[in-house]
Chains A and B, each alone.
Chain A
């Protein structure tokens, strides 16, 4: 008896053989003693296993049973939410960045404002020769006229190298 015939005999007992092969195996069992003996042994073994199998029934539905197991697993391994820890420096930076930006804007605005302001507030005059100089301001035109009492010695137009102050 070949190995293939043995496997076919096992499949016959399980009811898995097609009709033509079933006939062939039945014929083999009736004419071959070895096949007959193997058939009987497999049949007995099958019967013995079936009769000794414990008929255990779950007290609850299958889905509920597995959901309990799943819940127990989740309890044992709690999901740790990945919350990034923020350091003190980061918190300080978050606060300082907008404050610094605001401060820089204020400083830049102040400097720009200072540059735009006309600076006419502080003026001093020191007349070293004569204090009777007359000063006239025209702030709108951006002009200052200082008239000095120093007479010119020569007529400017008459000299190639004009002398204006004595």
Chain B
């Protein structure tokens, strides 16, 4: 079948428009985040049997940070699917909650809630695969960490 140049160009434009639309839709798509509450300690064993060792991927990330703790244990993990422009809450413990809003341009607004009240808020870019870690000191030379990883 012979295809004329105008027909070929029409098909090419159509295909490129479709690709552009798909790319634009992908950019404007939902966001999937993995939120973990992590306990950092120098103790080798975790006295709480409900805690699990953290995933090697997150462990590797934490090792690259200037943190002094030797061991990290996963207290709780929540996965959030957040449509663009909307926000979702992740209840990580009785007193710790994180609210994340999917903003335009791949940005997120992360709010840390203590006992239901917002105590800290931050807006930052979170490209796919990036991790935002919030942390603070805890008794007995330990620390709490909240790792927010964008997985989509």
The interface of chain A, by Cβ under 8 A from chain B, is 93-94, 97-98, 100-101, 104-105, 107-108, 111-112, 114-115, 118-130, 133, 136, 138, 141-166
Q: Which residues of A contact B105 (CB under 8 A)?
A: 119
Whether B142 lies near A98 (C-beta < 8 A) is no
Known pairs A145-B135, A148-B112; A161 contacts B9 (CB<8 A): no
Which of B13, B119, B139 has a CB less than 8 Å from the CB of A152? B139
Give the number of A-B contacts (CB < 8 Å): 180
Residues 25-83 of B contacting A (Cβ, < 8 Å): 26-27, 37, 39, 41, 43, 46-48, 50-51, 61, 64-67, 73, 75
Distance in angstroms between the alpha carbons of A124 and B95 in the assembled complex: 25
The interface of chain B, by Cβ under 8 A from chain A, is 6, 9-10, 12-13, 16-17, 19-20, 23-24, 26-27, 37, 39, 41, 43, 46-48, 50-51, 61, 64-67, 73, 75, 92-96, 105-107, 112, 114-115, 118-125, 127, 129-140, 142, 144
Main SS class of interface, B: mixed
Taking the closest CB of chain B, its distance from the CB of A102, in whole angstroms, is: 10
Distance in angstroms between the alpha carbons of A100 and B46 in the assembled complex: 63
Taking the closest CB of chain B, its distance from the CB of A126, in whole angstroms, is: 5
Taking the closest CB of chain A, its distance from the CB of B100, in whole angstroms, is: 14
